[in-house]
């Protein structure tokens, strides 16, 4: 099975700070990590590869040159290949331009399974995975919490708010991984050493993929962030002790006091 895992480098924080003037993310001083859902997806892909003889895992990312450090981590975890799409032409991509570029790269590779994370902890849209599946015209099972390989298909445990569902999907297909999908392995120092000394991160630019330039980067992005700002801090609420039957009256009184009703 040829497996491609998309991995994104994200700031190591869920409390992203914004520049009050420009409204853009402040990345300085914030260490970067592999997006947690992607790391779980990569681990699950490596475990699948080990179960199915002849399988390979390729890690694929689109990002600046500094993302090559994360690609080395993917190699240290055990990925057979690491490809970084790195070109100024990709800068300013919204989710559609991102998914178009990644799908174009995937089209140049052989694949049976594409694994993306459910969601990146910085952009947080959860759009890129399903969009890649649409571009490639393959089925997509999102929120994957467990994968069981079967002949020519996969059984996938899909998480809903209140339940799980088992779905069977034929390959080629795309899965979006939850962090619960697999516990990423501990990196042995020898594996890290070999990833830096003996393995290569392949850097691709726009000439390595076939894509209409109109779908690339800022120019190919139909959505633009107009303004970003932190949420206003909510004032503390008040707790009212109420006997049985009193609560509704108290709430109605408060709503009237504040001219809400």
Task: Name the nearest CA neighbour of 47 among 57, 37, 60, 33.
Answer: 57
Nearer to ligand FAD, 58 or 95 (CB): 95
Q: Binding to ligand FAD by residue 94, rule CB under 6 A?
A: yes
| Shortest Cβ 230–ligand FAD spacing (Å) | 17
- Structure-token match 């069981």, residue found: 148
CA distance 10 to 39: 12
Q: Binding to ligand FAD by residue 86, rule CB under 6 A?
A: no
Q: What is the DSSP string of 199-238?
A: --EEEE-GGGS---GGGSTTTT-S-------PPPPPPP--
**Is residue 241 packed enough to be buried (19+ CB in 10 Å), middle (13-18) or exposed (0-12)?**
exposed
Q: Which residue is nearest to ligand FAD (CB)?
A: 123
| Length in residues, the chain | 261
For 171-194, give one letter per residue: b (16+ CB within 10 A) or e: bbbbbbbbbebbebeeeeeeeeee
| Shortest Cβ 222–ligand FAD spacing (Å) | 9
For residues 20-49, which are near ligand FAD according to CB under 6 A?
35, 37-38
Choosing from 30, 64, 80, 127, the residue that interacts with ligand FAD (CB under 6 A) is: 127
Q: Binding to ligand FAD by residue 223, rule CB under 6 A?
A: yes
For residues 55-74, which are near ligand FAD according to CB under 6 A?
61-63
Tokens at 160, concatenated: 């809903």
| Shortest Cβ 115–ligand FAD spacing (Å) | 8
| Shortest Cβ 138–ligand FAD spacing (Å) | 15
Candidates 48-56, 90-98, 165-173, 188-196; binding stretch for ligand FAD (CB under 6 A): 90-98
Task: Name the nearest CA neighbour of 90 among 176, 11, 12, 204.
Answer: 204
Q: Binding to ligand FAD by residue 226, rule CB under 6 A?
A: no
Tokens at 120, concatenated: 């990146």
Q: Binding to ligand FAD by residue 87, rule CB under 6 A?
A: no
Give helix then strand counts, H and E, for the chain.
6, 11
Q: Binding to ligand FAD by residue 219, rule CB under 6 A?
A: no
For residues 107-126, which are near ligand FAD according to CB under 6 A?
116-117, 119-120, 122-126
| Interface with ligand FAD (CB under 6 A) | 6-8, 35, 37-38, 61-63, 92-95, 98, 102, 116-117, 119-120, 122-129, 218, 223-225
């Amino acid at each position: 099975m040829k497996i491609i895992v998309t991995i994104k480098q994200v700031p190591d924080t869920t409390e992203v700070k914004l520049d009050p003037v420009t409204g853009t993310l402040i990345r300085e001083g914030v260490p970067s990590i592999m997006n947690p859902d992607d790391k779980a997806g990569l681990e699950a892909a490596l475990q699948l590869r080990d179960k199915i003889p002849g399988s390979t895992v390729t890690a694929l990312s689109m990002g600046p040159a500094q993302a090559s450090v994360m690609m080395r981590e993917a190699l240290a975890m055990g990925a057979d290949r690491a490809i970084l799409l790195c070109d100024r032409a990709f800068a300013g991509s919204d989710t559609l331009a991102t998914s178009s570029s990644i799908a174009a790269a995937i089209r140049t590779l052989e694949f049976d399974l594409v694994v993306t994370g459910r969601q990146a902890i910085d952009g947080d849209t959860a759009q890129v995975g399903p969009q890649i599946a649409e571009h490639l015209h393959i089925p997509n099972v999102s929120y994957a919490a467990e994968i069981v390989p079967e002949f020519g298909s996969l059984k996938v445990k899909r998480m809903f708010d209140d339940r799980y569902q088992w779905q069977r999907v034929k390959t080629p297909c795309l899965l979006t991984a939850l962090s619960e999908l697999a516990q990423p392995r501990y990196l042995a120092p020898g594996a890290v050493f070999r990833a830096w000394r003996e393995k290569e991160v392949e850097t691709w630019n726009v000439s390595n993929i076939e894509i209409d330039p109109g779908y690339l980067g800022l120019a190919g992005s139909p959505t633009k962030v107009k303004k970003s700002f932190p949420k206003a801090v909510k004032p503390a609420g008040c707790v009212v002790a109420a006997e049985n039957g009193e609560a509704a009256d108290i709430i109605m009184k408060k709503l009237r006091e504040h001219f809400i009703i």
